[in-house]
Structure 1
């Protein structure tokens, strides 16, 4: 499957799926219009992350490049969030899909008092889904990009000096580079200001070799001999091995599969969350006193006998 055809292919699959769901629901006398509308809107919204998703799948992508891409996407999503007419195009595209599937787009009943679901005071169906689906999605997406990529910006921003090709540009980010060197000082052999000088010498070395301009850490390592520039080589190796993303969610599901066996199927949510947390964060030590203190917070008919 070509990557450029992915969105259209996904929409085609969803249209076919929604058609089957619609036939099944009609036969059972059910109405799923609102859920299907939210699914169609979500399909269009997730196209925003397609460019970043493609880049994250590249083999030679390092953390600095990923952080820059995430920052650009975050700023673009912020602009979309601020535009009042940005949702109109998405809504019209969803309406066309709904017409092809014979689905009526309508929103939930607006009540005077409602605590269990979204209940915005709106005048149209488009405004309802903008307030309950589109804007919350963008707010969460902006927050998630910030937490996932840009929270280590102060430390990682210094790595950008490794890819500055002008010595004057290196001087502009020298303070950030020194902070990064100080953070990884235990892996280096000289002091931060000496590493900065080594960086400038390495840049002159690249210019003398034919004005080489590496675009990522792996390319830079090929042109940074360790015997001549040991500290710059160490920083490039650190940058190349820093993970761009993690599989925490996948590991969580794997742990849950091992914990919730057939015998533990009746386990309630609180107990299951506790067992899963213990299994995932097994490296955190827990003493018997901490367990007793936690159990003692709840009143019990029987006293603890130690």
Structure 2
């Protein structure tokens, strides 16, 4: 990082040396150690007072931002096939289903589906990880047999690892819903925001127009 900063300073015609300060003499008390003396080397002082300080802030911010995600991830450990035979697997599955009670109408049915799928997984001697179970269920048309289990896997695969996407969405929101668009309804605002945030995704325009044309009869043929 220091080498990169010096290179950028040279390109900007800026100085590449740390500013030296005049050494101040101070009287040392009898109970002071040598470590209590101020740092005279400007490079070491910058490293101690700025670089390490910024790193401490980064580490603290990462811990605060990801602490909630870590607690959330613990609920989904039961979806890992390596945890299927854990003594508390069914209890953890019920706890996870009750946590998402708005998506799972009957949490008790999730335990039954989990018990059945665990037996099937053992009989077929499959070797899958947590990310491969949902594609396996969909590919074999088993998501209908295990609907609640498939819902939990979908929730697990769509949980964001940070709040960056949400913050980016709010920053786009003020650009979309301006003063002239204050009367925009919620559905249109949501659709425009989705198009703006996910603008990097390639969309087949002909397919979209064809689907729009077949939604209902229209006077004009597209």
Q: Which TM-score tier does this pair reach, normalised by the shorter chain?
A: 0.5 to 0.7
Bigger Cα Rg: 2
Secondary structure of 2:160 counterpart: coil
TM-score normalised by the chain length of structure 1:
0.42
TM-score normalised by the chain length of structure 2:
0.55
What is the distance in 2 between the residues matched to 1:135 and 1:195?
49
The answer to whether 1:182 aligns with 2:98 is: yes
Equivalent residue number for residue 42 of structure 1: none
Equivalent residue number for residue 19 of structure 1: 10
Number of aligned residues: 161
User: Residue 211 of structure 1: which of 115, 119, 126 is its match?
Assistant: 126
Secondary structure of 1:133 counterpart: helix
Tell me which protein shows more helix as a share of its residues: 1
User: Residue 17 of structure 2: which of 104, 118, 132 is its match?
Assistant: 104
Instruction: Note the residue ranges of structure 1 that are not aligned, 5 or more in a row.
Output: 1-9, 26-31, 33-102, 113-119, 260-306
Equivalent residue number for residue 191 of structure 1: 107
What is the distance in 1 between the residues matched to 2:156 and 2:93?
13
Greater relative contact order (CA < 8 Å, ≥ 6 in sequence): 1
Q: Structure 1 pair 13/241, CA: closer, same or farther in 2 (3 Å)?
A: same
Question: 1:12 Cα shift?
Answer: 8.3
Matches within 5 A, 1:1-306: 16-21=7-12, 24-25=13-14, 32=15, 103-106=16-19, 121-169=38-86, 171-172=87-88, 175-192=91-108, 194-216=109-131, 219-224=132-137, 225-245=142-162, 246-251=164-169
Question: 1:134 Cα shift?
Answer: 2.8
After superposition, the C-alpha distances for 1:93-143 in whole angstroms (9 at most, x for unaligned) are: xxxxxxxxxx3245666889xxxxxxx943544542333223222222222
